Amino acid sequence: MKPKEIFSRIWKNILYIILGGGIGVLLLMLVFQLPTDKMYVHVYQSLPTLENEFEGGIVVDGYQASLTGNFTDCLMLFYSIYENPKHSTLEQVMHMYRTESSIGDGWAPGESLRDYCNGVEQSKELSYGRYWHGYLILLKPLLMITNLNSIRMMMSVTQLFLVGLIIYFATKRGNGKLALAFLAAVPFFYFVSMFTSLSLSICFYIMAVAVLSSLCFHERFKEKNRYLQFFLIIGMSVAYFDFLTYPLVTLAFPMIVVLYLDKEEWKTKLQKIFGYGIQWGVGYIGLWSAKWIFSDLLTDSNIIRDAVSTVFERTGTASSGNKITGLFLVFSRNLEVYFNWSFYILTLFVIIFLVYHIVKNKKLYTNLESIKERFVILSVALFTIIWYFVTQNHSEEHYMFTCKNIAIIVFAVICAVTYESE
């Protein structure tokens, strides 16, 4: 890109982020005008389910990654119903206040939510302003009509439907092997239990919608050069809706799909990896930072200082104390959740399929340019390693859900092997 084009892109990105942040604030303020009476009732009805999951919240015993995300889900439900007339709507949107029961030294969102619903007096009020909490624009309306168990059933249907649509549209385009690659990667999200978690399914929804959009509108996006804005918006969406769970999949999966659909030389593909990756990062970091800036500008707060401190903590070194050994520790810990017979068998089937494909299609591997294109697609698998290296503290402590980034490696490997250049 020429310098003039670069400056134009920078200004457009800034405008997108400012506009997106403004719309995000307005949407949250609108849903906070909804009456909470019905929401309160439906959260109260959900307490028996939540209480059963306070200790561990594992759907399948012995499988740590099959967790319900009860800790964070209780926070989400609490923010949906919490009211304090001392705070304006803007203050509540920017700071996300809730009360906390005096239980132990740390947070106890489940017990605190239960006490709040039961009218127990709570003297301590906390805020969680470094996130956007954009999920509330969907969660609050849903809680007006039903409870957590019903929402979980809706989630199970939605997730299955999204997977089905991706397989359908990939196959319809004549990319059956792409559909198979996605289907093989889905179990590595611990898909069997994902419908039980409000917080741990957000990135899956964003990723699936992004992949669907690429499959349905690839030619249009490419013709009008919309993919740069597309990845910017994906990054912004993750910052708005998600807690820091496993956001990397929202970049890697649609990027692999775009690289798979594009029959271009390897240098062009490599440029797209850098371009789309930068755009996603600008959208993600930019909108997240905008939340901190808006909060400090519009209300009396020090969220920027708190957020920056948290970023340094979460990107700190793992418990080994060394960045290199820490990477091996983090990667092995995230990989260990797949050390069971269900994933052994699945991995064996994947290996057999790949070997069969390689043996049957030897001609595909005699073309040097084609091999280079495959390696570019395969290079996206390195995103997972880079993510674990940068976010060592977070990925070590929360390995039970950051492990879902391993699905990127599975998807990238199968797509690289099965890719056919023109």
Stated as kind and residue range, the H or E segment containing 99 is strand 97-100
> Would you tell me how many other CB atoms lie within 10 Å of the CB of residue 230?
20
Q: Is residue 246 part of a domain?
A: yes
| Residues of the domain holding 347 | 147-418
Are the C-beta atoms of residues 256 and 409 closer than 8 Å to each other?
no
Domain boundary among 102, 136, 170: 136
Output the pLDDT for position 55: 74
How far apart, in whole angstroms, are the C-alpha atoms of residue 23 and residue 236? 12
How far apart, in whole angstroms, are the C-alpha atoms of residue 192 and residue 343? 13
How far apart, in whole angstroms, are the C-alpha atoms of residue 313 and residue 290? 20
Q: Is residue 219 part of a domain?
A: yes
CA dihedral defined by 249, 251, 257, 263, rounded to 10 degrees? -150
Q: Is residue 277 part of a domain?
A: yes
Q: How many residues does the chain have?
A: 422
What is the b/e burial string over 180-209, where b = at least 16 CB atoms within 10 angstroms of the residue's CB? Answer: bbbebbbebbbbebbbbbbbbbbbbbbbbb
Residues 67 and 183 in one domain: no
Q: Quick one: pLDDT band at residue 306, thresholds 50, 70, 90? A: confident
Q: Is residue 82 part of a domain?
A: yes
Range 166-170 contact pairs with CB under 8 angstroms and sequence separation of 24 or more: 166/208, 166/211, 166/212, 166/215, 169/212, 169/215, 169/216, 170/215
Which has the minimum average pLDDT: 11-20, 119-128, 236-245, 357-366? Answer: 357-366
Residues 104 and 176 in one domain: no
Q: Quick one: pLDDT band at residue 309, thresholds 50, 70, 90? A: confident
Residue scoring higher pLDDT (92 or 54): 92
**pLDDT tens sequence across 373-402:** 999 999 999 999 999 999 999 999 999 999
Distances (CA, A) of 376 to 240, 362, 382, 409, 416: 30, 19, 10, 13, 8
With a CB cutoff of 8 Å and minimum separation 6, the contacts of 263 are: 421, 422
Residues 35 and 122 in one domain: yes
Residues 159 and 263 in one domain: yes
pLDDT at residue 289 greater than cutoff 70: yes
Output the pLDDT for position 360: 86
Domain boundary among 103, 136, 169: 136
Residues 84 and 170 in one domain: no
54 three-class SS: coil
Bridge partners for 67 per DSSP: 58
- Percent of all residues in the chain with a pLDDT value above 90, rounded to a whole number: 77
Mean pLDDT to the nearest integer, 363-380: 87
Residues 131 and 155 in one domain: no
**pLDDT tens sequence across 86-118:** 999 999 999 999 999 877 666 789 999 999 999
Residues 168 and 27 in one domain: no
Are the C-beta atoms of residues 132 and 288 closer than 8 Å to each other?
yes
Residues 244 and 373 in one domain: yes
Output the pLDDT for position 7: 84
How far apart, in whole angstroms, are the C-alpha atoms of residue 57 and residue 67? 5
Residues 257 and 203 in one domain: yes
Q: Is residue 142 part of a domain?
A: no
Q: Quick one: pLDDT band at residue 4, thresholds 50, 70, 90? A: confident
With a CB cutoff of 8 Å and minimum separation 6, the contacts of 92 are: 32, 82, 84
Domain boundary among 107, 136, 165: 136
Residues 152 and 127 in one domain: no
Q: Quick one: pLDDT band at residue 422, thresholds 50, 70, 90? A: low
Q: Is residue 207 part of a domain?
A: yes
Output the pLDDT for position 213: 97
Which tokens go with 72? 């964070």
Q: Is residue 42 part of a domain?
A: yes
Q: Is residue 156 part of a domain?
A: yes
pLDDT at residue 362 greater than cutoff 80: no
Q: How big, in percent rounded to 5, are the helix, strand and coil portions of the chain?
A: 75, 0, 25
The pTM for the full model equals: 0.95
pLDDT at residue 317 greater than cutoff 80: no
**pLDDT tens sequence across 188-216:** 999 999 999 999 999 999 999 999 999 99
How far apart, in whole angstroms, are the C-alpha atoms of residue 3 and residue 302? 36
Mean pLDDT to the nearest integer, 7-28: 94
124 three-class SS: strand
* Domain tally, the chain: 2
Residues 90 and 154 in one domain: no
**pLDDT tens sequence across 250-262:** 999 999 999 999 9
The DSSP result for 250-272, as a single string, is: HHHHHHHHHHHH----HHHHHHH
Which residue from 205, 195, 210, 165 is spatially nearest to 183, judged by alpha carbons?
165
Number of H helices, E strands in the chain: 21, 2
Output the pLDDT for position 255: 98
Q: Quick one: pLDDT band at residue 341, thresholds 50, 70, 90? A: very high
35 three-class SS: coil
Which has the minimum average pLDDT: 47-56, 143-152, 174-183, 372-381? Answer: 47-56
Residues 238 and 131 in one domain: no
Which tokens go with 3? 């310098």
What pairing do the DSSP bridges indicate for beta strands 124-127 and 97-100?
antiparallel
